[in-house]
Chains A and B, each alone.
Chain A
Amino acid sequence: MNDLIQIQNLNKSYGKKQVLRNVNLTLTSGKIVGLLGPNGSGKTTLIKILNGLLKDYQGHILIDGQPIGVHSKEIISYLPDEPYFENWMTTSDALHLFSDMYKDFDLNKALSLMERMDIEKKIKIKELSKGMKEKFQLALVMSRKAKIYILDEPIGGVDPAARDFILDIILNNYDQDAIVILSTHLIADIERIFDEVIFLKNGGVVLHEDSEELRVARQSSIDAIFREEFKC
């Protein structure tokens, strides 16, 4: 159990608009953490910063004890909310890319997941349906034995059966030494798998608690607490 992600005094603004204000978070391994908040709360910005897609911010971030860079990218497996493949790529191309570029990629696991999902090997990714594309991307991301998984809306536009399947994959890959950060709107469906939840509101952290303790304290589901907190 170690502190995999340490965020201190993180601030980020786009012009005059402050998107992240004084975010302080310490996340330890062996947890599934829910990053919850409405649109515009700063979730996406935070995720982009952790992945190195936004560089200009104030504050200190350490990932596995090191600043964001090549090492952090080696240990973070990121699933963005939209597919990110080039038009010309086939599923095999993507598999080869991951095998080549990531030391922790398990090709066999990816292939077996693809089989379960009925995805063929030489097919062009752009020809897959939206749901299949997302599942394929999830398969790739979860086939890496990473220390940090960051999943942005993994169950977003997916049907309920596929949702169960995805949660299944996530739980199946659970590792004591790893951390899964899941950002989502659809809390009710998956709150049962969160160890901890973080509520982000207008760029600030309003809550970071153990989910079971929260249930005891508020006698309420996380979903209900969330609705209460973010009432319009």
Chain B
Amino acid sequence: MLKLMKYEFIHSMRTFLISYVVFLAMCVIYPFLADKFFFPNIPFLYMFFNLGFILLVIGIIIALFVSLFINFHHSMFKKPAYLTLTLPVSSTQLVLSKVIMSIVWLIIGIFVLMIGLFIMTMITSFINDVITISELFDTLKEMLGSVIHYFIYDSKDFFKDILAMMSGLIFMIGSIYFALTSAHTKWLRKHRLIFGIILYITIDIIVAYIGSDLFTSSAINSDILAILQSLYYLSLGSFMIFGTIYIFDHYIEID
């Protein structure tokens, strides 16, 4: 199983790493470009209202989605499937190793996003001479301090947020895998990838709609509601992961 995960990691690395490197490079370059188009000297504010920045973040999120789809689809259903699915491992090991590694890369992605934003703001500040190196370090220390403070004093919130994040990731990955795998059964013969994508979007919309309905109530403590919502996504995600494994064991058809 460990070896599988190693290869999964390397396999996913190709697409994720490129996206991250490009994103970080853009974060470095962007302040220099933006400088030419906008006058205001308030680094933080204008950044957030700047259209280009938003596009950058949306861009990387799309890239990550596409990576998830492509990595799974390519290695499980295209030619490499003849290698992947004939390895002497159970479907459970195969799917779980992919799930785990995707989560790992996505978590790395979250850190990349935070670092990128940080770099962008810092560079902008430097360009505009708003901040000096020593002040930069002070800010860093402050930020780190607040994170640790949050972790220790607001543990409840911290864990609640982590739970929400993990549930969201598991649900997202589970629904993508399940949708793609469902398209490769005997009930569908053509246009499998497109159907898979549409199925994923459908599942996402339905679940989110029901989820928002179920978890709005002024009667119950909002914390508990948040936890319940996380568990909702977590269980649905897990269900779909096991559904994916089940399909691989009983219904799969590779072209």
A–B interface present (Cβ within 8 A) = yes
| A70 close to B90 (CB less than 8 A) | yes
Docked Cα-Cα span, A69 to B248, in Å, equals 11
Q: Please give the distance in Å from B111's CB to the nearest CB on chain A.
A: 24
Question: Interface digits, B162-192 against A, CB 8 Å rule (1 contact, 0 not)?
Answer: 0000000000000000000000011001000
CB-CB under 8 A from A73, the residues of chain B are 86-89
Q: In the complex where A52-B85, A73-B88, A97-B7 touch, is A86 in contact with B254 (Cβ < 8 A)?
A: no
B79, B250, B251: which contacts A82 (Cβ < 8 A)?
A: B79
User: Does A55 have its Cβ within 8 Å of any Cβ on chain B?
Assistant: yes
Q: Could you mark each residue 60-93 of chain A with 1 if its beta carbon is under 8 Å from any beta carbon of chain B, else 0?
A: 0000000001110110101010111110100000
Complex CA–CA separation, A159 to B11 (angstroms): 33
**Chain B interface residues (CB < 8 Å from chain A):** 3-4, 6-7, 11, 14, 74-75, 79-83, 85-90, 185-186, 189, 248-254
Q: Which residues, 35 to 60 on A, are CB-close (under 8 Å) to B? A: 48, 51-56
Nearest residue, chain A, Cβ from B248 = A55
Which residues on B sit within 8 Å (CB–CB) of A78?
A: 82, 86
27 contacts between A and B (CB under 8 A): A14-B186, A51-B82, A51-B85, A51-B86, A52-B85, A53-B82, A53-B253, A54-B252, A55-B248, A56-B251, A70-B88, A70-B89, A70-B90, A73-B87, A73-B89, A74-B88, A80-B82, A84-B79, A84-B82, A85-B80, A85-B83, A86-B75, A88-B11, A100-B3, A100-B6, A101-B4, A102-B88
Q: Is the interface of A mostly helix, strand, loop or mixed?
A: loop
Residue A160 at the chain B interface, CB threshold 8 Å = no
Q: Give the bracket for the number of chain A residues in contact with chain B.
A: 20 to 34
Report A-chain residues with C-beta under 8 Å of the C-beta of B14. 88
The CA of A146 and the CA of B85, in the complex, are separated in Å by 17
* Apart from the given pairs A56-B252, A73-B88, 20 other A-B contacts in the complex at a CB distance below 8 Å: A15-B189, A53-B81, A54-B253, A55-B250, A55-B251, A56-B185, A73-B86, A73-B87, A73-B89, A74-B88, A82-B79, A82-B82, A84-B83, A85-B80, A86-B11, A100-B6, A100-B7, A101-B4, A101-B87, A101-B88
